[in-house]
Structures are given as C-alpha cells and as structure tokens.
Amino acid sequence: MRATLPTLAALTAGGLLLSNRMRHRHDPELFYDGHADGHLHGQHHTGTLLAAAAAVALGGMLLSNRRRAGRHGYSLSTVEESIDLDVPVRTAYNQWTQFEEFPRFMASVQEVRQIDDTHLHWKAVVAGKTKEWDAEITEQIPDERIAWRSTSGPMNSGVVTFHRLGENRTRVMMQMDYRPESLAEKVGDAVGGVKVTAKGNLQRFKELVESRGAETGGWRGTVGQH
C-alpha cells in the first residue's frame, strides 16, 4: 500500500535534516561561534535535530494511520470519550436529542439544522476551514443510544450511549469514526486534537445539563437500526 504524499514529505524532510546534521557534525565552523575563546555554538544544531525528529515522528504517525486504511484505501480514525453526569439518564438523553443546541457545547460546531426526525445538516470549522455535511440518524433508542453517519461531505459516523449509574447519575459514552482529509486535519488527528475536542465537548455538555438540572426538550421516538 502506497504512503500518502504528506507522509512521504514529512519522512523525507526529517531524513534530509538528519542526514545534513550527520555530515556536518565535525565541521568546526558549525560548532564554534568564531571567538577566540572557542565557545560552542550548538543552538542551531539543537533546533535542526528537533525539527528533524518532529518531521520523522509526524511522518511515522501518518504512515501508521495509513496502514490502518480500510478497504476503500483511506484511513479511518476513532475517538472514544466518556463522562459522568449528576442528572437522571432521561434528562441526559433528552438533552442530547436537541441537536440544534449542539453549538452551545460543541466548540467547533457553528450550526446544526434538523431537517426531519432522522436527518441533520451540519456546519462546523474543521482544522481552520468551514465545512458542511448532511447526516442521518441510523439508530435511536430512548435513554440508551443514538447512532449516526454522514451522507455527504466529511466522512464520519458514531454512536452516543447513555448508562444509568444511579437515580441521578448517568454515564455518557461517545465513539466516533472519521476520515481526516487535509494535511492540517491529519496532523491534528496525529497529535490527538480530535480527542481533546471531544473531551471538551462532553465537559461542556455536563456543565450545561447540570447547571439547568433539567432538559430543554426531548424527542422520545425510536429509530430502528439501518
């Protein structure tokens, strides 16, 4: 399986920097600052080595992701996060069904428009660029789970599940599969940016629900798995 151009570019850049560093490791003009006292001048070399290491590391992470590519030839990444809320499971679930309120706690989401019971249109900033896509709810069971998949635009799918821990205690678990597209998205994915964003979104959802103590609405319909 061939590596992507960004992967090759990162690996090549790191290799060239390391190769150049090794060729000049004995060159006194590169090691000394030219003064009579012969002080070592190593900041340039430290910076070069760090840049080389970063490039090689990035290339390695991108290559690792590439090797996880699915049958369609592109890489899928997965993020899993969970959080415990001090509210009943019904409250947590009902609030999550209010899709158009997602921008209130999802940092990068600008708008979610609900077309009907099972179809949504999303608008969000992804790696600094505004993107839009359509999604459908593929399964929905009150107080248990909501699953979705995109039908246009950036590929993503996942499920959010709700677990009763007590009368006023609920665990919300989210799993999402997605396909980074641009180099910026692949870099963000490689360094765990999506995981950090997901964790922050769940934390803000917790704060939103717990501060109110009740949901702002709720849809109790069921969608069969498809």
Residues 15-69 pLDDT 10s: 554 455 545 544 444 334 444 454 444 555 555 545 555 554 555 555 555 445 5
Q: How far apart are the first and last CA of the chain?
A: 32
- Determine the residue type at 2: R
SS3 104: helix
- Other beta carbons within 10 Å of 122: 22
- With cut-offs at 50, 70 and 90, classify the pLDDT of residue 76: confident
- Indicate the SS3 state at residue 54: helix
- 77-212, superfamily in CATH? START domain (3.30.530.20)
Determine how many CB atoms are found less than 10 A away from the CB of residue 172: 22
| Residue 140, token pair as written in the block | 């929905």
Residue corresponding to tokens 């430290």? 46
Helices within the chain (DSSP H only) = 5-23, 28-31, 43-67, 89-96, 183-190, 193-212
pTM for this predicted structure: 0.71
